[in-house]
Amino acid sequence: MRNNYLKRGLFLLTILCYGFTYAQQTVTGTVSDETGPVPGVNVLERGTSNGTTTDFDGNYSIEVNDDAVLVFSFIGYQTKEVSVNDQSVINVNMVTDSESLDDVIVVG
């Protein structure tokens, strides 16, 4: 009988630990600027190599840890960091970076 309780306890402990180590969620949203959606924006989970890019309509979807910070970056825009904080939808408005635009040289 005692052995049966021990097995049940270990089973419950395993389930609880599994839930804590793999606490991830899917975050979706749209990245836009003052003119509309921005395609091709890099969306990375800070401190990892986990990332994605926005599609043609500025939409993205990424699976991250619950305590993650998302980093949004694109040439010509200021990098923006947003804490997930158990949010499942995060829409971001990018701001143009006039200083980095001065450094762009186009050769045709």
47 pLDDT higher than 60: yes
pTM over 0.75, yes/no: no
For 24-97, CATH gives 2.60.40.1120
Give domain limits for the chain.
Answer: 24-97
Q: Minimum mean pLDDT among 11-15, 54-58, 81-85: which range?
A: 11-15
Q: List C-alpha distances in Å: 54 to 39, 47, 91.
A: 5, 20, 12
Dist CA 106 CA 89 (whole Å): 36
pLDDT value at position 106? 72
DSSP of 23-84: -EEEEEEEEEETTEE-TT-EEEETTSS-EEE--TTSEEEEEEETT-EEEEE-TTB--EEEE-
What is the structure's pLDDT at 71? 96
What are 2-45's pLDDT values in tens digits?
556 555 655 655 555 554 545 789 999 999 999 999 999 999 99
Helix or strand (DSSP H, E) at 21: helix 2-21
